[in-house]
Structure formats: C-alpha cells, structure tokens
Amino acid sequence: MFHNLLYMAMFLLSVSTLVALYRLIKGATASDRILALDAMSYNIIGIVTILSIALNTQNYLDVILLIGILAFLGTVALCKYVERGVVIEHERDN
C-alpha cells in the first residue's frame, strides 16, 4: 500500500514534468521556456525525494541540493540574458 501510493505519486509528478516539457517546447516566448525549465527541475527534485523514500536510502539526497542549486543559477543567468542580452557585463557604469 505504502509503496504503491509512492509510485503513484512519482507517476503524477512525471506527468506534471511532461506538461512542463510541453510548455518548454511550445512556449510562445523565451520567458515561458525559462519558467517551464524551472518547474521541470522542481518536479525532478520531488521525484528524486520520493525515489529515495521508496528505496529507503539516503544516498540520493545530495542530488536534491545539486539540482536545486543548478536550477536556480541557470534561471538567474537565463533571466539576465533575456533582460540585457549579455550574461557577464564587461563595461562599467562610469
């Protein structure tokens, strides 16, 4: 019972990841795609958490932190690219 419900939760999270993937491919603007990438990475973090519960191991918990940090840094870099056209600015203000 416990494991069946865990696998059902993993299935629903993967459905939600696929919906975000649809928005990533279809998305009208670049900001839609950034948003969908963010949602996909959060759903994958949830899948990894439920997998580590179902397998009763703590070895996958590093993956959660790693994907979280990578998703945040990628979102910040892509947003700066959409806003200004460059990621790392070389010119000073004055």
Partner 1 sequence: MNMNVITEWIVLLFILSGTALSLFSSIGLLRLPDVYTRSHASTKTTTIGLISILAGGFAFFLFEDGVISVRLILAIIFVFLTAPVAGHLTARSAHRAGVQLADISVKDELREDLEKHRKEMGGKEAAESKETQS
- In the complex, the residues that contact partner 1 under the rule CB under 8 A are 2, 5-6, 9, 12-13, 15-17, 19-20, 22-23, 28-32, 34-36, 38-39, 42-43, 45-46, 49-50, 52-53, 56, 58, 61-62, 64-65, 68-69, 71-72, 75-76, 79-80, 82-83
- Using alpha carbons, list the distances in angstroms from residue 33 to 6, 10, 72, 82: 29, 23, 14, 11
Q: Counting every residue, how long is the chain?
A: 94
CB of 46 to partner 1, least distance (A): 5
Cα dist. 3→57, 65, 76 in Å? 14, 24, 37
CB of 61 to partner 1, least distance (A): 4
The 10 Å Cβ neighbour count of residue 43 is: 20
- What element of type H or E holds 41? helix 30-54
CB of 16 to partner 1, least distance (A): 4
Nearer to partner 1, 28 or 88 (CB): 28
